[in-house]
């Protein structure tokens, strides 16, 4: 009966009738109430009365005169923040949508984009207000008692009452610090700059839709660490960390504050502001308040250095995705075979192409050796022993970091040397490397072991390196000093062209382990 009725209704009235799907994919609370009531044997009418009763019980207070008042503290600040996050995600999803229809809509439909961006600012302000109040509650609660329960943090719409700005209104400071400051007892007992290499996380341009795909860029960063004593014992009681600007000066508001907290000596309370001074509103307002265990002032530098999550919170920025501009149409019609693509780009500079980074340490021993053999052409008339003979095509020096043989050097540089003429023949029974030494077993000759440069030419014939995310190979084609020719090569199968000339799987092996195990923070 029902479908027919719907059909009639469509014909007769307004055309669009459907089951609502807007409620989301999971059943609403109401549906669960109905299901449970039915399971317990109640009729559908009784289930509706029960649903009414639950709503009253759940979220209302019954007044003396029988009227009912909504309990606004039914929601916690965390509930509100969860919803705000949803709204932020929605705005982000629209403004960064790569769907061309959405992009065009935002570009062409009046001030649609501006109005959604404005709403983004409203939501950001809402978030800052609710979050700061929530964290202040958490901060005060934790400072007061180890047993503070975060669930007691109820939402109160009054927090939006206009007045003082948030930073001034809600100060994240401890009584003992303020008292020491007032008494003139707050003394800096340590003040140092902590410099470190940091691998900055960026979205992987090859996977624009995947938040979990990232590429890492090296960055030299620094934090100013100030340890304060509030008493006379010369032991740190309070710590401030400041981001250091690229020009070497400190930001004026701390990124992290660590307090000695509460009734438990082993627990500290850390307040983190994830926004730097360039990120607009939010700088100066905390984003995280959390307990940390067992840090004392002697350990602070080491703890910070090792706390990758904390460093990521302080330094990680959200990179806004930009839609690439689509190129204007042009027409090119080219007949087959009319265009020759040169293998190499020849340098105009007389000294040729250079590797743009320093990769050799003082001793020039920060490399491992690899041998690349020429393809052995086996013919039918060859004797079995002959078929087993090898010929060295290149000796490769794969440079690693000065401190660890397991980390690649900046630029992942590899030098390729040709063997001297007497070792370049197809007469090698066995060839091995051990450290910086090579051992060759040549037909009819004594086995020779020596440092690699004994067997190779003086200068590398080719060098591979990565610069600005592009892998290059520079090559000496003319035998004169310098590498005059250059080409781009594949990043992962970096040795593809070398491999073509050889039978070795060397190319694939060369970068595999490195690329898979890049340490996201520090070295």
Partner 1 sequence: MKGKKLASVLAAGIFGAGVLLGSVPTYAKEEAPIQYVEEQNQSKESVHKKEVDTNIPHYLKGLTPISELTDVNEIEKEIRKTAEIFRMYESQTYSGMYDFVKISNYNEEETVNIYGKDIKIVYHEYMKKGDKILYTNPLGIEELTLEEFEVVKNDIKEQVKLAVDANVEAYKTLPGKIKTELEKLLEIKDLDAIADQKIPEYDGITYGDVLGYFKLEGKDFVPDELHLALIPALGLSIVNAKLVMYSPIGRSQDYILGFPSTLAHEFTHASTKIQSIPFSWQFDAELQASYVQLGENQSFLTYLLHDYLAPFRETEKRYFSFDANHMLKKILGADKASNYTFHEEEMAKEFPLMDQVREEFKKSMPDFFAEYYTNRLFWYAVNHKFNDPNVWFDILMAQKYEPTIYAEGDKENKGAFDDLQFLKEVEDAGVLEEIRTEAWKRTEGEETKKDRTTMGPKYEKLMRLSHLYHVDPFTIQRFLEKEGIDDIYNIPPEKLNQLEIKIDKILEGFVK
Residues 162 to 191 in contact with partner 1, rule: CB under 8 A:
162, 165
516 binds partner 1 (CB under 8 A): no
> Is the Cβ–Cβ distance between 41 and 35 less than 8 Å?
no
Burial class (CB in 10 A: 0-12, 13-18, 19+), 417: buried
Q: Is 32 near partner 1 (CB under 8 A)?
A: yes
Pick out residues in 419-448 that bind partner 1 (CB under 8 A): none
45 binding partner 1? (CB under 8 A): yes
Task: Based on the shown chain and the rule CB under 8 A, indicate whether residue 264 belongs to the binding site for partner 1.
Answer: no
Under the binding rule (CB under 8 A), the answer on residue 26 touching partner 1 is: yes
**Nearer Cβ to partner 1, position 45 or 381?**
45
Of the residues 131, 150, 152, 160, which one makes contact with partner 1 according to CB under 8 A:
160
| Closest separation in Å from C-beta 166 to partner 1 | 10
Please, what is the angle between helix 29-39 and helix 44-59, to 10°? 130
State yes or no: residue 96 binds partner 1 (CB under 8 A): no
Between 18 and 331, whose beta carbon lies closer to partner 1? 18
Nearer Cβ to partner 1 (9/470): 9
Which two three-digit tokens encode residue 345? 């780009």
Is 280 or 294 the residue whose CB approaches partner 1 more closely?
280
Residue 268: other Cβ atoms inside 10 A: 22
Nearer to partner 1, 112 or 509 (CB): 112
Is 36 a binder of partner 1 (CB under 8 A)? yes
Question: Of 58-87, which residues contact partner 1 (CB under 8 A)?
Answer: 58-60, 68-70, 72, 74-75, 79-80, 82-84, 86-87
| 484, two tokens | 């005059």
Which region among 88-96, 336-344, 408-416, 488-496 touches partner 1 (by CB under 8 A)?
88-96
Q: What H or E segment, with its residue span, contains residue 312? A: helix 308-315
| Least spacing, CB of residue 249 vs partner 1, in Å | 22
Touching partner 1, residues 120-139 (CB under 8 A): 121-126, 130
Among 141, 208, 281, 482, binds partner 1 (CB under 8 A): 281
> Which tokens is 516 given?
């898979």
> Please, are residues 186 and 224 in contact by the beta-carbon 8 Å criterion?
no
Judged by CB under 8 A, the stretch of 26-34, 176-184, 345-353, 491-499 that binds partner 1 is 26-34
Determine the interface stretch with partner 1 among 14-22, 196-204, 297-305, 343-351 (rule: CB under 8 A). 14-22
The 8-class DSSP code of residue 109 comes to: S
Q: Smallest distance from the beta carbon of 331 to partner 1, in angstroms?
A: 23
In contact, 313 and 256? CB cutoff 8 Å? no
**Shortest approach of partner 1 to residue 115 CB, angstroms?**
5
Does 278 contact partner 1 by CB under 8 A? no
Of 78 and 303, which CB lies nearer to partner 1 in the complex structure?
A: 78
CA 448 → CA 15, 368, 373, distances in Å?
Answer: 91, 19, 18
Q: Which two tokens stand for residue 185?
A: 């007892």
Find out whether 127 and 81 touch, Cβ atoms under 8 Å.
yes
The CB-of-224 to partner 1 minimum distance in angstroms stands at 24
| Size of interface with partner 1, in residues (CB under 8 A) | 95
Write the DSSP symbol of residue 76. Answer: B
Q: Does 11 bind partner 1 (CB under 8 A)?
A: yes
Q: Which stretch binds partner 1 (CB under 8 A): 160-168, 172-180, 182-190, 258-266?
A: 160-168
Question: Counting contacts by CB under 8 A, is residue 518 touching partner 1?
Answer: no
The whole-angstrom separation of Cα 464 and Cα 492 is 12
Q: Is 366 exposed, middle or buried (0-12, 13-18, 19+ CB in 10 A)?
A: buried
Contact positions with partner 1 (CB under 8 A) in 203-222: none
Among 144, 150, 152, 157, contact with partner 1 (rule: CB under 8 A): 157
Say which DSSP state 491 is in. Answer: S
The whole-angstrom separation of Cα 311 and Cα 296 is 18
Alpha helices in 27-161 (DSSP H): 29-39, 44-59, 77-95, 100-108, 112-144
When asked if residue 279 is in the footprint of partner 1 (CB under 8 A), the reply is no
What one-character-per-residue DSSP string does 326-362 give?
PPPP------TT-----S-EEPSSTTBB--SS----T
Tell me the CA distances in angstroms from 2 to 7, 16, 23, 382, one per residue in order: 9, 15, 22, 86
How many CB atoms are located within 10 Å of the residue 169 CB? Answer: 13
**One of 64, 147, 149, 161 touching partner 1 (CB under 8 A):** 161
């Amino acid at each position: 009966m029902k479908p027919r009725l719907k059909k009639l209704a469509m014909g007769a009235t307004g055309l669009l009738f459907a089951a609502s799907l807007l409620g989301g994919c999971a059943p609403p609370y109401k549906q669960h109430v109905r299901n449970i009531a039915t399971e317990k044997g109640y009729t559908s009418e009784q289930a509706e009365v029960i649903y009414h009763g639950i709503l009253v019980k759940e979220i209302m207070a019954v007044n003396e005169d029988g009227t009912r008042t909504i309990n606004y503290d039914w929601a916690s600040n965390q509930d509100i923040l969860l919803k705000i996050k949803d709204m932020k995600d929605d705005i982000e999803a629209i403004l960064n949508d790569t769907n061309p229809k959405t992009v065009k809509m935002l570009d062409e439909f009046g001030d649609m984009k501006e109005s959604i961006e404005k709403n983004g600012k409203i939501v950001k302000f809402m978030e800052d207000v609710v979050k700061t109040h929530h964290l202040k509650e958490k901060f005060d609660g934790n400072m007061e008692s180890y047993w503070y329960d975060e669930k007691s943090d109820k939402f109160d719409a009054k927090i939006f009452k206009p007045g003082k700005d948030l930073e001034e209104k809600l100060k994240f400071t401890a009584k003992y610090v303020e008292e020491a400051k007032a008494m003139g007892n707050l003394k800096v007992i340590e003040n140092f700059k902590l410099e470190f290499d940091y691998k900055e996380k960026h979205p992987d341009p090859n996977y624009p839709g995947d938040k979990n795909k990232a590429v890492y860029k090296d960055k030299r960063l620094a934090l100013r660490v100030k340890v304060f004593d509030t008493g006379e014992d010369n032991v740190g009681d309070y710590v401030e960390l400041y981001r250091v600007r690229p020009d070497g000066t400190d930001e004026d508001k701390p990124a992290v504050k660590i307090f000695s907290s509460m009734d438990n000596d082993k627990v500290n309370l850390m307040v983190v502001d994830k926004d730097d001074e360039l990120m607009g509103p939010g700088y100066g307002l905390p984003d995280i308040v959390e307990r940390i265990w067992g840090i004392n002032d002697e350990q602070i530098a080491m703890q910070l250095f090792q706390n990758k999550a904390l460093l990521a919170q302080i330094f990680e920025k959200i990179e806004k995705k930009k839609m690439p501009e689509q190129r204007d149409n042009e027409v090119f019609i080219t007949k087959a075979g009319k265009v020759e693509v040169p293998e190499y780009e020849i340098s105009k500079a007389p000294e040729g192409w250079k590797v743009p980074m320093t990769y050799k340490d003082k001793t020039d021993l920060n490399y491992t050796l690899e041998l690349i053999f020429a393809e052995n052409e086996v013919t039918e008339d060859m004797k079995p022993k002959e078929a087993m003979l090898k010929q060295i095509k290149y000796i490769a020096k794969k440079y690693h970091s000065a401190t660890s043989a397991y980390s690649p050097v900046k630029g992942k540089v590899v030098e390729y040397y040709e063997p001297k003429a007497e070792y370049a023949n197809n007469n090698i029974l066995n060839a091995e490397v051990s450290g910086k030494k090579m051992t060759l077993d040549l037909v009819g000759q004594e086995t020779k072991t020596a440092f690699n440069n004994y067997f190779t030419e003086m200068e590398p014939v080719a060098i591979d390196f990565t610069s600005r995310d592009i892998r290059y190979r520079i090559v000496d084609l003319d035998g004169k000093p310098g590498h005059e020719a250059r080409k781009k090569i594949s990043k992962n199968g970096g040795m593809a062209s070398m491999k073509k000339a050889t039978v070795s799987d060397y190319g694939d092996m060369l970068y595999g382990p490195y690329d898979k195990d890049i340490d996201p923070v520090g070295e």
